[in-house]
Amino acid sequence: MSEGAANTSFREVFKLNGSAGADLFFVLGGYIVTAVLLQAFADEDSIEVMHYATKRIRRIGPACVFVVALVVVG
């Protein structure tokens, strides 16, 4: 069986299209966000939204700045 035939069969079996990657991203992202918030609630019996948002911005912010700089320069 050729590689092309194997890829075609896989796509037909799982009905993959261009949105499959986006769907997977949002499902996994939602799962991770929910798990983090539930763990915070279990630890402290409350969820501090500003604390959560600040942590996400501090983690994702540098990568966003880097990508924007690449786009502006390139």
Q: Give the model's pLDDT for residue 3.
A: 56
Per-domain boundaries in the chain: 3-73
The DSSP code sequence of the chain is --HHHHHHHHHHHHT--TTHHHHHHHHHHHHHHHHHHHHHHHHHSS--HHHHHHHHHHHHHHHHHHHHHHHHH-
Q: Give the model's pLDDT for residue 17.
A: 65
Pairwise CA distance, residues 10 & 1, whole Å: 13
Report mean pLDDT in 10-residue bins for the chain, 74 residues: 56 65 88 92 90 92 95 91
Q: Phi and psi of 26, rounded to 5°?
A: -70, -35
In this structure, what token pair is assigned to residue 24? 């997977």
Q: Give the model's pLDDT for residue 59.
A: 93
In this structure, what token pair is assigned to residue 42? 């279990």
Q: State the pTM of this model.
A: 0.57
